[in-house]
Amino acid sequence: MDGRAVAPAAGTVLNALATGIGSAFAIDLETTATVELTDGDEIIGRVDGHPDADTTLIERCVDLTLAEFAASAGLDESTVGARVHTESDVPMAGGLKSSSAAANATVLATLDALAVSDAVDRIDACRLGVRAARDAGVTATGAFDDASASMLGGVTITDNTSDELLARDEPDWHAVIYTPPAQAYSADADIAACERVASMAELVEELALDGRYGEAMTVNGFAFCGALEFPTGPMIDALPDVTGVSLSGTGPSYVAVGDRDTLADVRERWDEREGTTRLLQTRTDGTRIQTP
Ligand SMILES: Nc1ncnc2c1ncn2[C@@H]1O[C@H](COP(=O)(O)OP(=O)(O)OP(=O)(O)O)[C@@H](O)[C@H]1O
Ligand SMILES: O=C(O)C1=C[C@@H](O)[C@@H](O)[C@H](O)C1
């Protein structure tokens, strides 16, 4: 039995590392996970194109999903193993929530392989991926903000201390992304420095809950560039034309939102910097099963 699912990446409105409250929105860059159930109890992961990548996260996602749902599929969990692999357009540790997309796609692909995906709420599937991310040590808060945006689409605002969804919305935006040639693993982020900008994060939370996502993002960007010691130059390149611009996640990528023509101009400015730029649609749908 095989299962396959596709999950979008996400950009940041509010980084949760300061207060535990976070907000993110889905973007049109995808990770696909394929899960093949096998006899025996071994779970073996592979990341296409990255033979040395850490596969703990996706293996743990399969493991937790089998533990929770194998019985309802009429299987004995102790005799089911799996091969899982991901293919992704999302740069790893780039600030674009590669880990959340990989976790969501893997949990849903496993549910698909078990033929029980219709019986499981998407938000509960998302919480399973967040548990796996905590177990795998790839996140500081669990990153339910990023994971819920990727699972449900649109913008989500969450409390990552209780994995509670506070709000969800579907603003009409495009996004432009700038990814410098570097990686920044969330697990290595300076949490103490982020906690020092908590009063700014509280302001960002208020703006976001008021639907003022663009201003929220921009305040977030200045606060977390400061805390995590990323340059603000890419934000200045985008202001004042865009609706909002921020460092995404724990960096190194930056994301700006607004109308497509304005973002195309910002992309030209960002193209002068070293790294990769992408002009993308935002996504109001989230993670989905991919039927062959
Ligand atoms: N395509 C993938 N397949 C399997 N595992 C992945 C994949 N992408 C990311 N991961 C896992 O997630 C880890 C990177 O997580 P990290 O949170 O640092 O990056 P990110 O999610 O891109 O960053 P941010 O949270 O700042 O957006 C990798 O070490 C790997 O374990
Ligand atoms: O590891 C984490 O808990 C997080 C990492 C970043 O993506 C943040 O943007 C997110 O809010 C939380």
- Quote the domain boundaries for residue 226: 174-281
| Residue 291 reports pLDDT greater than 90 | no
Residue 145 Cα to ligand 2 middle (Å): 8
| Residue 1 reports pLDDT greater than 80 | no
pLDDT at residue 207, rounded to an integer: 98
Mean pLDDT computed over 205-222: 98
**Which residue's CA is the nearest one to ligand 1's atom 22?**
93
ipTM above 0.95, yes or no: yes
Q: Verify that 132 and 235 share a domain, yes or no.
A: no
Q: State whether the beta carbon of 246 lies less than 6 angstroms from ligand 1.
A: no
Can you give the pTM of this predicted structure? 0.97
Residue 96 Cα to ligand 2 middle (Å): 10
Q: Residue 183 falls within a domain, yes or no? A: yes
Residues 103/146, Cβ–Cβ less than 8 Å: no
pLDDT at residue 212, rounded to an integer: 98
Q: State whether the beta carbon of 12 lies less than 6 angstroms from ligand 2.
A: yes
Q: State whether the beta carbon of 139 lies less than 6 angstroms from ligand 2.
A: yes
Report which secondary-structure segment, H or E, holds 225: helix 213-228
Counting the structural domains of the chain, the total is 2
Q: State whether the beta carbon of 92 lies less than 6 angstroms from ligand 1.
A: yes
Average model confidence (pLDDT) across the chain: 97
Q: Verify that 162 and 202 share a domain, yes or no.
A: no
Residues 59/66, Cβ–Cβ less than 8 Å: no
pLDDT at residue 254, rounded to an integer: 98
pLDDT at residue 91, rounded to an integer: 94
Among the three residues 131, 149, 169, which one is the final residue of a domain in this structure?
Answer: 169
Among the three residues 139, 169, 199, which one is the final residue of a domain in this structure?
Answer: 169
Is there a cis peptide before residue 234, judged by omega within 30 degrees of 0? no
Q: State whether the beta carbon of 243 lies less than 6 angstroms from ligand 2.
A: no
Give me the CATH number covering residue 38. Answer: 3.30.230.10
pLDDT at residue 264, rounded to an integer: 98
Model confidence pLDDT, tens digit, residues 114-170: 999 999 999 999 999 999 999 999 999 999 999 999 999 999 999 999 999 999 999
Residues 94/183, Cβ–Cβ less than 8 Å: yes
Q: Residue 288 falls within a domain, yes or no? A: no
Beta strands in the chain (DSSP E): 2-14, 21-39, 43-47, 80-88, 155-159, 164-169, 174-179, 244-247, 254-258, 276-281, 288-289
pLDDT band at 175 (very low <50, low <70, confident <90, very high): very high
Give me the CATH number covering residue 257. Answer: 3.30.70.890
Specify binding-site residues for ATP: 91-101
Q: Which amino acid is at 1?
A: M
Q: Verify that 185 and 141 share a domain, yes or no.
A: no
Q: Verify that 29 and 105 share a domain, yes or no.
A: yes
**Which residue's CA is the nearest one to ligand 2's atom 12?**
143
Mean pLDDT computed over 269-278: 98
The Cα–Cα gap between 124 and 80 comes to 22
